Structure 1
């Protein structure tokens, strides 16, 4: 057993470049695991800097200096973000409040409808089953109410965290973009010289993460805007709130679309009942989801990561459980990182075997 392990270790870690890659990955994983809560604004700023690096480079190609290009791009980004927040947040807040006020009435109406099912379909549904379902739903609503109360009590700390994000993140984005080369040079100066595999993984991940973040932001905007406009044209209540939820649902592949369908279905059902208007709402929602999955995603992510759906779902569950929202957002790039490491390791082993045979 010891001999088998020794041979495996010698075969996999005989190359110092492989050892360097492992050490870098282990140090990064420990650093993120230990300090992710404290340094999350830094990670967010790095993600935004990735997103804005392309327009900065475009401006530099037309004779702007890197500093002036960074000022223009960051100022434009902050302005658009503030306009979007100031325009959407009051509407979302108002619609959320109205939905919470009408929720008890919706629940009562739904319970009344369920209680009529045993009379309409006595052979399929029994009253005891409906009573059990209603009791289970009431218990869940009480749990959600307690969670909402705790969230409201901690809103002060959330506001403070939001202020930190709004002030510090744009500053960090500016300096990450402006001093990109100097920062990268400083970081690489601490790394060993035997880092060929690490550079290979970094180059592969750089383009993939850039494509993923940019594509995901564009997808959120397109899907959210299209859904909001469609719901407003169909006179659906809470159109902006539901549109934003549908847009954000694309962050979680497969699962997000399934979960967000529930509030869309319930709001449309309680507003229109089983009618043609209800059918039009669900048809429009289904068409948008189909266009997103079959047109938008292939166009935006044609050059991005290519992972099996099972791997994507496992990555979302694993990294989401570790780091919450941002773990979900970066689940696919992190899964792609694992894939890039395996690819680099495989190519390195093939090169070693080729040298031996020669």
Structure 2
């Protein structure tokens, strides 16, 4: 029969094994980060789509048929969004290209003298006319075309891009179909002595990730729609583009507000010759912030994430620095999981003899 000392040795060995496994997994992610994007997107889509598939299964549909129905619904939504948004965004990019040269001229005549006089920064040394001539504003309206033309200079890049686009739905389909089986098999690998504790931690991580992925995405969508409609009512021609950018940037707390109001004020100054539209733009974003803070975030996300805004910003920047675009995708989910683990570690420490309790 194993003695208490033997059990302690085994426990320490297991802890070291877990630590080494985590380090190896981090190295694995770092080395394979260039090819992980479609798999991570597929995992995220499968994770968010699994509840819908489970509900369809309860209606006596097979798992495969439920996944097919879910895919069809998502495809219809994406096609509808594309048909509505793409033409409007293209027209707004063309308008942005038209006002580009005027923006540089007005900045040179109005903003630079004020900056030189009040802030003391000398911007006259910059050749603004050459800068305006260097930028081919007529071509900026077809940003997608220019990007595709640049990408097509490398056959490998084109193949990789197309391969990633094809992989995402394929990976998502198979993950959705076998999601419950994979979760069950992972649960079977957990040592029985730690099964209840690991199950509790996994459930808390699931609650936190679900609150973030589903809740935050709904908040971003709601803010994007709200900002776009508000700026459209003000009369801003770039309302849809700025609202979309502000909504996407809202994944980081306050970033959507800062980016959106900055771009909106600049666009309003270029489009209107009056200060009153600037007041209305500020009012739109002020209302958006109040609705987000008092209604959207408490209702859709709640306090289950528990990540401080500074921690969110750090997680996004740190993930991008370490793993590039893949790091940006996994930064916040990993930070949420680490927060759950730190919460349990803190509780264990407060109840340990190291802290001072018997």
How high is the TM-score relative to the length of structure 2? 0.79
Query: Which SS does the other structure have where 2:166 is aligned?
Result: helix
Check whether the contact 1:252–1:329 (CA below 8 A) recurs between aligned residues: no
Q: Which residue of structure 1 aligns with residue 66 of structure 2?
A: 69
- For 1:12 and 1:79, the matched residues in 2 are separated by 57
Q: Which residue of structure 2 aligns with residue 155 of structure 1?
A: 151
Call closer, same or farther: CA 1:90–1:21 in 2, change over 3 Å: farther
- For 1:30 and 1:116, the matched residues in 2 are separated by 52
Q: Which residue of structure 2 aligns with residue 282 of structure 1?
A: 282
Q: Which residue of structure 2 aligns with residue 204 of structure 1?
A: 204
Q: Which residue of structure 2 aligns with residue 81 of structure 1?
A: 78
Uncovered stretches (5+) of structure 2, i.e. residues with no partner:
1-6, 138-142
Q: With CA pairs under 8 Å and 6+ residues apart, which has the higher RCO, 1 or 2? A: 1
Which of 44, 49, 55 is equivalent to 2:46? Answer: 49
- For 1:81 and 1:290, the matched residues in 2 are separated by 29
Check whether the contact 2:247–2:256 (CA below 8 A) recurs between aligned residues: no
What's the Cα RMSD here? Answer: 3.8
Call closer, same or farther: CA 1:227–1:66 in 2, change over 3 Å: same
Query: Which SS does the other structure have where 1:129 is aligned?
Result: coil
Which of 86, 108, 123 is equivalent to 1:111? Answer: 108
Query: Deviation per CA, 1:257-299, whole angstroms, max 9, x where unpaired?
Result: 3233321110011111342222112211221133123321122
> Does 2:22 match 1:29?
no
- For 1:161 and 1:86, the matched residues in 2 are separated by 26
- For 2:176 and 2:33, the matched residues in 1 are separated by 22
Check whether the contact 2:43–2:175 (CA below 8 A) recurs between aligned residues: yes
How far did residue 13 of structure 1 move? 9.2
How far did residue 52 of structure 1 move? 0.8
> Does 2:130 match 1:131?
no
Uncovered stretches (5+) of structure 1, i.e. residues with no partner:
1-9
Q: Which residue of structure 1 aligns with residue 227 of structure 2?
A: 227
How far did residue 110 of structure 1 move? 1.6
How far did residue 62 of structure 1 move? 2.8
Call closer, same or farther: CA 1:300–1:262 in 2, change over 3 Å: same
Q: Which residue of structure 2 aligns with residue 242 of structure 1?
A: 242
Q: Which residue of structure 2 aligns with residue 216 of structure 1?
A: 216
Q: Which residue of structure 2 aligns with residue 328 of structure 1?
A: 328
How far did residue 16 of structure 1 move? 5.0
How far did residue 322 of structure 1 move? 2.6
- For 1:189 and 1:141, the matched residues in 2 are separated by 65
Q: State which drifts further: 24-33 or 44-53.
A: 24-33
Call closer, same or farther: CA 1:210–1:316 in 2, change over 3 Å: same
How far did residue 76 of structure 1 move? 0.5
How far did residue 115 of structure 1 move? 5.1
> Does 2:174 match 1:178?
no
How high is the TM-score relative to the length of structure 1? 0.79
Call closer, same or farther: CA 1:20–1:319 in 2, change over 3 Å: same
Task: Tell me the matched-pair count.
Answer: 340
Q: Which residue of structure 1 aligns with residue 15 of structure 2?
A: 18
Q: State which drifts further: 309-318 or 20-29.
A: 20-29
Check whether the contact 1:205–1:340 (CA below 8 A) recurs between aligned residues: yes
Call closer, same or farther: CA 1:311–1:116 in 2, change over 3 Å: closer
Query: Which SS does the other structure have where 1:237 is aligned?
Result: coil
Query: Which SS does the other structure have where 2:248 is aligned?
Result: helix
Query: Which SS does the other structure have where 1:109 is aligned?
Result: helix
